[in-house]
Chains A and B, each alone.
Chain A
Amino acid sequence: MIDRIEFLWPEIALFVTTCVVMVLGLSRRIESRRMTALVTGLGLIIAGVLAARTTPIPGPRSGQVLLPELIPYAKVLIASVGSLLLLLQAGTVDRAEEAAIAAGQRPYDPLRTNRAEYYAFFLFSLTGLMLCASADDLIWLFLALELTSLPTYIMVAMSTGRARSREAGVKYFFLGALGAAVFLYGFALIYGGTGSTNLNAIHAHLAAHGLNLTALAGFILAFLGLCFKIAAVPMHFYAADVYQGAAPQVSAFLAFVPKAAGFISILLLTATIGWSYAADAQGPLYTPITQSAYDALEGAVSMGLPEPIRVFLWVIAALTMTVGNVLAILQKSVKRILAYSSIAHSGYMLVAVLAGPNNGTFSQSGLAAVLFYLLVYGVGNLGAFAVLACLEGRPDADGEPAEIEDVDDIRGLWKTRPLLAWVMTLSCLGLMGLPPLLGFFGKLPLFTSGLAAGEIVLVVILGLNSAVAAYYYLRLIKASLIDPPSDADLPATPTPFATRTLAGVLSAAGVVVLAFVGGGLMDRSERAARYTSMMAVAPPPPPRKTPYVPGDDTPFPLPIPIGAR
């Protein structure tokens, strides 16, 4: 147990920072309160450094045996994108309150401020995300996913003072609770079907006995519940409303953090199932084939996820891409366009999840493609939301500045705010996947891994969708870079927070620069995706327990008296 702590130092660092931030944000002195964001950033940097210094130890000590090198990569990625997101959060809460205190209208009252809670929730959510990456147990994974999600519900509700933020928060919470209940029931069935909550033990059980119907139902329900986290099709409808209701900087947070948690969990669960099942396997038990048996068939069958799970994820991926892109075309609000585009990006990444590790090289491994695309998507999306967070309209009746809503509101940005116009352009081109930019190098392995796994139809759908997506990204680029400024009476003025602009500029620079120095990152994501399955090797050890098979009506075994074991 104590060995495990070696891998949890980043999370411990973040948790300690959270405790400090909760106290610091309530300080009477304005200087101390201003330090809150700084301390949060410091904690994130420390966590990132600690994560980078974590060296995976082979063997069961490292916890995760299936994806042993995932932990450092995922945590460094989380800490880096988390730091960019932190720059964007400046002045989200307490803006009016601090202004009133500075103007001497009212004394400082700890009950009226919520800066401490806001930054603490921000850090709690990132801690949960890091814990998802280190999870090797269903219980752990469930708690980590809940720790990621619960703070975000509150962050949405308190992000602005408007009624629609509260509405968005409540909507997000209720659908989030539904999603959590669904994947929790899935976890219960996985435990029932395999007799263990440990992912490595589950994998060993599946390698020895194949996938039974209880575990199959469990995995399907678990993926269905996780679709909420990644905003994939049956659970996608909240995304547009929630992203629209929340402040843009919180929408940027929602578009990355829960989605990364969902994809890391999906990768862990699919790695537990393994991609070693022959496509034409029939019958109630889905048995993985060994490497030697597969080689003997000389390519007569294709290997992949068990057929029902493959079909399920195939349908979800195809629907998610198409629905996201088609609905994005119909939108007028920039935030809703970005929300539907983030749904479409989830669909793209599911293609690579389906493809699996193949031969493990960067161009063929779907796992490496997902891990690299999380970075590409995180950086590009952050830039687009940063532009919205940097602009505001005239204050409304409540004294709160109006938000930039429609595409028309960012028209002619090149004249008024050329920097932001370029940030928007580069981010959209990056998300679109235009060749010299980072998005292209992220999207290419999605295609190649899908082709390597033989998913030709799905790759064609992916290609068509990428072409459709160009329409609405070009629409945003045209509005900000080409159209003349609108003469409406809601001129977009910059917010007084320079770090938000900095976050936008950094992510736009990332879209360009990382494309040219991204070779190292690709190597890292390829290494992070190293998959050590027990399925392709010698016969696995026999399991400890008999799995539950539907129709089994043997009575419960007699209880063993305590101490008799």
Chain B
Amino acid sequence: MSDALTLAQQGWPAAFPAVTLAHYLFVSAAMFTVGLIGFLTRRNLIIMFLCTELMFQAAGIALVAFGRYHLDFSGQTFVIFILTVAAAEAAMALALVVLLFRKRETLSADEWTEMKG
């Protein structure tokens, strides 16, 4: 009868004994890396901007987790400011992309190579 138990019923994978700082840092590092790789490989300006946002928020997750770990509020305070700056950057990115789009109707970064050398 015990064969009939599914893996989940046996409690596998073992539940996390507790969520530790390392889990949060792993998520944050993964987000940062995904953002970095996306920025370097994608050529669409909007996607590239989203990748930098991903990297900003990865830093935010690390800060909140560290703040919780150290039991003080500096990390969370930092995140509030990061959100503000990220919003300002978003507004600016869209304005700049629209400026380019009006001149030539494409969002590909490869189309804009007037200066080389």
Residue ranges of A at the interface with B (Cβ–Cβ < 8 Å): 138-139, 142-143, 146, 150, 153-154, 157, 163-164, 166-171, 173-174, 177-178, 180-182, 184-185, 187-189, 191-192, 195-198, 240-241, 244-245, 331-333, 336, 545, 548, 552-557, 560
Give the residue name and chain of the A residue nearest to B74 (CB): A197
A195–B70 touching, CB < 8 Å: yes
A555–B77 touching, CB < 8 Å: no
Cβ-defined partner of B96 (8 Å) among A142, A164, A173: A173
Known: A143-B85, A189-B62, A548-B69. A153 touches B21 (CB 8 A): no
Q: Which of B48, B65, B78, B100 has the most CB of A within 10 A?
A: B78
A177–B59 touching, CB < 8 Å: no
Q: Which of A146, A185, A560 has the most CB of B within 10 A?
A: A185
17 additional contacts (CB under 8 A) given A142-B82, A164-B115, A174-B109: A142-B81, A142-B85, A157-B96, A164-B114, A169-B99, A170-B96, A174-B48, A178-B36, A180-B89, A181-B35, A185-B59, A185-B62, A188-B63, A191-B67, A192-B25, A197-B78, A556-B19
Q: Which of B19, B59, B74 has the most CB of A within 10 A?
A: B59
Give the residue name and chain of the B residue nearest to A556 (CB): B68
Residues of B within 8 A of A182 (CB): 55
Q: How far is the CA of A560 from the CA of B82 in the complex (A)?
A: 26
Residues of B within 8 A of A146 (CB): 85, 88
Residues of B within 8 A of A553 (CB): 20, 22
A150–B96 touching, CB < 8 Å: no
Residue ranges of B at the interface with A (Cβ–Cβ < 8 Å): 17-22, 25, 28, 32, 35-36, 39, 45, 48-49, 52, 55-56, 58-60, 62-63, 65-72, 74-75, 77-78, 81-82, 85, 88-89, 92-93, 96-97, 99-100, 103-104, 109, 112, 114-115, 117
Q: How far is the CB of B48 from chain A (nearest CB, A)?
A: 6
Give the residue name and chain of the A residue nearest to B66 (CB): A192
Q: How far is the CA of A226 from the CA of B25 in the complex (A)?
A: 23
Residues of A within 8 A of B117 (CB): 240, 331-333, 336
Give the residue name and chain of the B residue nearest to A554 (CB): B20
**10 closest pairs, A vs B, by CB?**
A555-B18, A181-B55, A192-B66, A177-B52, A188-B62, A197-B74, A185-B59, A184-B59, A188-B59, A241-B115
Q: How far is the CA of A145 from the CA of B96 in the complex (A)?
A: 20
